[in-house]
Structure 1
Amino acid sequence: MRGFSLNQATTKRWPLDELAAGCVAAGVRAVGLWREEVQAYGVDKAARLMRDSGLTVSSLCRSGFFHEAGWYDENRRAIDEAAALGTDTLVLVSGGLPGASRDLDGARRHVGDAIGALVPDAKAAGVRLAIEALHPMFCSDRCVVSTLDQALRLAAPYPASAVGVVVDTYHLWWDDKVWEGIAAAGREGRIAAFQLADWITPLPEGVLLGRGLPGTGSVDMRRFARAVAEAGYQGWVEVEVFHEDVWSRPGAEVLAEAYEGYRAAVS
């Protein structure tokens, strides 16, 4: 299972201690964690659990949401949590338009300024900020960064060791320029995380929960895996899926299917 990481979101209802035990039993070496679940479990307790289980934390999701009041303090806490968990990757979701604003360009400029304000804190903690672009349907309320190219432009003013980007198949599969973006991200050393999730239709009523396990939808996973590998990325590959049907299944069963989807993509 070298290279495979199970993102906690994929088995959302699997308690963290059971997830850790299940991953160890299956030979999984890494997990991606989510702040809400880690906070509920206890950050220090979660860090001990990861260490005692021998698991690497491939990333911590998520911080950002720079349109909200108090964004700086909240992101500082997220950086500290990532450092405590021993991960060097903190995923940033930028947030949407503030209030009733329609100033999309201004919102993106603010994201760039906010990232710049956090870079010294992240560098001091040994944590890399990983900008994730989300599908455009989330632009108004969740993420004004909609393409990999936009994410790269936001990262450009800062060292690649401090600010990188996330390549998420679910969010980027529709963009015909994504292949150029992945190659550019590789040249710049900017790929901080690679996540697999499929696009399934029809979308459920809550479109955020429309992700499928790799191989169940429309995304050419193998093309993405080849492109990221050719760009020089050698890090963990997380399977990160949000879907009620997936969450309702036993965690070990979902883990096994997630791994098979990963293996089909990267083999």
Structure 2
Amino acid sequence: MCAVQFPAIGLIWWIGEQLGDDYAYAGAYGAFAVFALACLLVVAPLVLPVLGLLHAVVHVLPAELLAHRAARRTRGPVWAWHLALTAVLGLIWAALALLLWDWPFTTTAPLFAALGVVPVFGLEWLRRRPRGPWAVWLPSLFASVGLFLLVFLGGVLATVTGILEEYEPPVLSAGQLTGTWRGEEGAVLSLGAGGRAELTDVPAESGSADQNAEPAFAVCDGTGTWLLDDKGGHERAGVVVRLDGECGQETYWRIGGTESEPELFVPFGDPDAPDVRILTRD
């Protein structure tokens, strides 16, 4: 029963990541996103039993053992103690994740606590069913598929109706873009107020027709010009940088991030697996 909920939880995570991705192009239900999700579903029958067993060993079964001991010493049904102790163990695991990996406790604590709800009630239901492997696996299969489809349809409806909003890049003026932007490996892009640009180790389009060419971009130094394109010429507003010399081609830096922490980025190379280069305001 522990593995029943993992496909739905994975789908919730997937939708959240896709809708909140600054650099996504097709949202949570784009063709590539759906294809990648379908690939994950193919390997799910091999992975889910392992994940379910691990979850049972470290979370559900220890809570059940403690629940039986607590029920013998105090009043109350075993399932209630099991549910409460599962939630407590979830909080302990969330605290451990905070200490080891700096995962946000406010997010992981309710998630880890909720992970025990379905197994606890599922165990109580299965105890009243006939014994046998099919009596366990078939209901678990139907429950997992049904829960997955419910989350998928709910995610689609919530997105279409606007309950879940896709990421929207900040709207910046030319004046807000003026200044120094820095990236990896010492890249510095200075956008002047007069439309002049200075580049130091800044990635630029190489001009190669082969999207799989290595490297996917040229690294340029020098001067050039820049302008804000917010008139719909591209899929989102951004900065067009043209160099005066022969290094690289015209490069379109898309606007991302947030209004308080804006970013400029370019996905170089293969559109399905781009090398995303990001500049942040100095």
Give the structure-2-normalised TM-score: 0.25
Report which structure shows greater RCO (CA 8 Å, sep ≥6). Answer: 1
Give the structure-1-normalised TM-score: 0.26
Structure number with greater Rg is 2
